[in-house]
Amino acid sequence: MTNMDAPSTSNGTSTSAQDAAAQKQPVRRAPLGIDTINKRVIKSEYAVRGEIVQLAQKIAKEVESGQHNHPFDKVVWCNIGNPQILGQKPITYFRQVLALCECPQLLSHPNIRELFPEDVIARAQLLTKQIPGGLGAYSESAGALIIRQLVAASITKRDGYPADPDNIYMTDGASPAVHYMMDLLLREPTDAMMVPIPQYPLYSATLTLYGGTLAPYLLDEGAGWGLDVEHLRLQLAKARREGLCVRAMVVINPGNPTGQCLSYQNMRDVLTFCRDEQLVLIADEVYQANIYVGNKEFFSFKKVACAMGLEDQVPLVSLHSISKGFIGECGRRGGYMEVTGFPEPVKDQILKLASINLCPNLSGQICCALMMNPPQPGEASYELYRKEKSDILGSLKRRAELLVGALNRLEGVSCNAAEGALYAFPRVTLPEAAVAAAKKLGKQPDWLYCKELLEATGIVVVPGSGFGQADGTFHFRTTFLPSEEDIGRVVEALSAFHAAFLKRHGGLTTAAVAASAAAANGTHAGQ
Partner 1 sequence: MRKEATRLVSALLRAGNNGVSTSWAVGGTRLKSAMPQPDEKKDEDLHAKEGKVLHPHLLNENVVKTQYAVRGELYLRAEQLRKEGKEIIFTNVGNPHALGAKPLTFTRQVLALCAAPFLLDHPKVEDMFPADAIARAKKILASFKGGVGAYTDSRGNPLVREEVARFIEKRDGVPSNPDHIFLTDGASVAVRLCLNAMIRHDRDSVLVPIPQYPLYSASIRLYGGTLVGYFLDERRGWGLSVEELQRALQESREEGKLVRGLVFINPGNPTGQCLSKENLQELIKLAYQEKIVLMADEVYQENVYQDERPFVSAKKVMWEMGEPYRSHVELLSFHTVSKGTAGECGLRGGYVEMTNIHPGAIEEVYKCASINLSPNTMGQIALSVLVNPPKPGDPSYDQYTKEKASELVSLRRRRHMVTDGFNALDGVTCNFTEGAMYSFPQIKLPAKALEAAKAAGKAGDVFYCLKLLEATGISTVPGSGFGQEEGTFHLRTTILPREEVMTTFVEKFDKFHKDFMKQYS
Site for partner 1 in 303-362 (CB under 8 A): 315, 323, 328-333, 341-343, 345-346, 349, 352-353, 355-362
| Distance between CA atoms of residues 23 and 46, nearest Å | 42
Residue 183 or 432 having the CB closest to partner 1: 183
Binding test (CB under 8 A) with partner 1, winner from 134, 222, 224, 374: 134
129 binds partner 1 (CB under 8 A): no
Closer of 467 and 497 to partner 1 (Cβ): 467
Least gap, CB of 273 to partner 1 (angstroms): 13
Among 58, 71, 133, 484, binds partner 1 (CB under 8 A): 133
Find the binding residues for partner 1 in span 457-476 (CB under 8 A): 463, 465-466, 468-471
Q: Which of 105, 108, 295, 510 binds partner 1 (CB under 8 A)?
A: 105
Pick one of 19, 126, 138, 499: the residue that binds partner 1 (CB under 8 A). Answer: 138
Q: Which is nearer to partner 1, 30 or 433 (CB)?
A: 30
176 closest CA partner among 326, 367, 325, 321: 321
Binding residues among 83-102 for partner 1 as defined by CB under 8 A: 83-87, 90, 92, 95-96, 98-100, 102
CB of 379 to partner 1, least distance (A): 18
Taking alpha carbons only, the member of 321, 308, 192, 307 closest to residue 256 is 321
Instruction: Give least dist CB 402 to partner 1, A.
Output: 22
Is residue 126 at the binding interface for partner 1, with CB under 8 A as the rule? no
CA dist., res. 404 & res. 392, Å (int):
18
By CB under 8 A, tell whether 51 contacts partner 1.
Answer: yes
Helices (H) and strands (E) counted in the chain, each on its own, are 19, 14
Pattern 241-270, binding to partner 1, x per CB under 8 A? -xxxxxxx----------------------
- Residue 261 or residue 434: which is nearer to partner 1 going by CB? 434
Nearer to partner 1, 230 or 411 (CB): 230
Q: Which is nearer to partner 1, 243 or 378 (CB)?
A: 243
CA 83 from chain center: how many Å?
13
Element (H, E) at 193: strand 191-197
Residues 52-71 vs partner 1: string with x where CB under 8 A?
Answer: -----x--------------
Which residues ranging from 269 to 308 are in contact with partner 1 (CB under 8 A)? 278-280
Choices 288-296, 420-428, 442-450, 498-506; region in contact with partner 1 by CB under 8 A? 442-450
Q: Minimum distance between the CB of residue 384 and partner 1, rounded to whole angstroms?
A: 12
Q: For the CB of residue 408, give the shortest distance to partner 1 in the complex, in Å.
A: 24
Query: Considering the rule CB under 8 A, would residue 5 count as an interface residue with partner 1?
Result: yes
How far is residue 290's CA from residue 298's CA, in Å, rounded to a whole number?
9
Contact 513, 472 (CB under 8 A): no
**Number of residues forming the site for partner 1 (CB under 8 A):** 144
* Backbone CA torsion sign across 352, 357, 359, 361: negative
Binding flag, residue 46, partner 1 (CB under 8 A): yes
Dist CA 248 CA 316 (whole Å): 10
- 205 scored as a contact of partner 1 (CB under 8 A): yes
Given a contact cutoff of 8 angstroms between Cβ atoms, the answer to whether 402 and 487 are in contact is: yes
Q: Which of 128, 208, 457, 516 binds partner 1 (CB under 8 A)?
A: 208
Whether the Cβ atoms of residue 363 and residue 100 lie closer than 8 Å to each other: no
Q: Among 9, 19, 73, 115, indicate the residue that binds partner 1 (CB under 8 A).
A: 115
**Residues in CB range of 281: below 8 A, 6 or more apart:** 248, 249, 251, 270, 271, 274, 301, 314, 315, 316, 317
**For residue 480, which of 405, 379, 399, 420 has the smallest C-alpha distance?**
399
234 touches partner 1 by CB under 8 A: yes
SS3 235: helix
Q: Put the strands of the sheet holding 476-479 in their side by side order.
A: 423-424, 476-479, 462-463
**Residue 1 binds partner 1 (CB under 8 A):** yes
b/e 454-487 (16+ beta carbons within 10 angstroms → b) = bebbbbbbbbbbbbbbbeebbbbbbbbbbeeeeb
Give the shortest CB-297-to-partner 1 separation in angstroms. Answer: 27
In the list 22, 28, 455, 489, the residue contacting partner 1 (rule: CB under 8 A) is 28
- For partner 1, the binding residues in 164-203 under the rule CB under 8 A are 172-173, 175-176, 179, 183-190, 192, 197, 202
Q: How far is CA 500 from CA 78, 403, 457, 466, 505, in A?
A: 20, 19, 12, 24, 9
Among 16, 32, 309, 378, binds partner 1 (CB under 8 A): 32
- The residues facing 191 across adjacent strands are 245
Stretch that binds partner 1, among 236-244, 303-311, 368-376, 497-505 (CB under 8 A): 236-244
- CB of 259 closer than 8 Å to CB of 425: yes
CA-to-CA dists, residue 450 to 81, 158, 438, 462, angstroms: 17, 40, 11, 7
Site for partner 1 in 210-229 (CB under 8 A): 210, 212-216, 218
The residue type of 97 is V
Inter-residue contact 467 to 47 (CB < 8 Å)? yes
Residue 526, classified by CB atoms within 10 Å of its CB into exposed (0-12), middle (13-18) or buried (19+), is exposed
Q: Specify the residue, 410 or 481, whose C-beta has the smaller distance to partner 1.
A: 481
Closest to partner 1 by CB, 170 vs 502, is 170
- Site for partner 1, residues 421 to 440, rule: CB under 8 A: none
User: Do 458 and 76 form a contact (C-beta atoms < 8 A)?
Assistant: yes
- If binding is defined by CB under 8 A, does position 137 make contact with partner 1? yes
* CB closer to partner 1, 83 vs 431: 83
